[in-house]
């Protein structure tokens, strides 16, 4: 008698216990969920955050040109990848004079990225860019930008 050939079973998986199996301890077992019937006549309430009126052109005349645009590290990097001149592209997009603003945190972030991002650093040091000083501790750029935007909602830096 020769050796019996075994066929390999593909995509087999170990059998797992169902969470409702009676062999499981009470604490590991899945609790049966009782479905709560919702009253169809009840009004559906949604909480929508109310945006301040200062963020709309209609109510705030200070939002006009020249636009001060906060620039992030990724914004600069993607503009390099797309081979776009940052200031010119901003003006093409918004049809108005644009002043890109860069915070100390974003500048520090680009400097930390090292030699690979030297082109981004050169763009960030462009004299057309406004430098905004940061007074907080640490150099986490995202938090800095969010804090700055929530503080100065009217468009003043």
In the chain, beta strands by DSSP E: 67-70, 98-103, 130-132
Q: What is the Cα–Cα distance from 54 to 49, expressed in whole angstroms?
A: 15
pLDDT per residue as tens, the chain (157 positions): 566 766 766 666 667 767 777 777 776 666 655 556 666 666 667 777 777 766 666 667 667 788 888 999 999 999 999 999 999 999 999 899 999 999 999 999 999 998 888 999 999 998 999 998 988 877 688 888 888 888 776 655 4
Calpha distance 149→136 (Å, rounded): 15
Q: Domains in the chain, ordered, with CATH? A: 69-151 (3.40.50.1010)
């Amino acid at each position: 008698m020769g050796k019996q050939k075994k066929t390999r079973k593909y995509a087999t998986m170990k059998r797992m216990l169902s969470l409702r199996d009676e062999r499981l301890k009470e604490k590991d077992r899945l609790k049966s969920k009782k479905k709560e019937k919702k009253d169809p006549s009840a009004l559906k309430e949604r909480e929508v955050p109310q945006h301040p009126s200062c963020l709309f052109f209609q109510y705030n005349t200070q939002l006009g040109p020249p636009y001060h645009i906060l620039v992030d590290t990724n914004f600069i990097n993607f503009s390099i990848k797309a081979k776009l001149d940052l200031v010119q592209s901003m003006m093409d997009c918004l049809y108005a004079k644009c002043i890109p603003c860069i915070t100390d945190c974003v500048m520090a972030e680009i400097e930390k990225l090292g030699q690979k991002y030297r082109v981004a650093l050169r763009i960030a040091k462009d004299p057309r860019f406004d430098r905004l000083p940061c007074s907080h501790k640490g150099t986490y750029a995202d938090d800095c930008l969010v804090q700055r935007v929530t503080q100065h909602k009217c468009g003043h830096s």
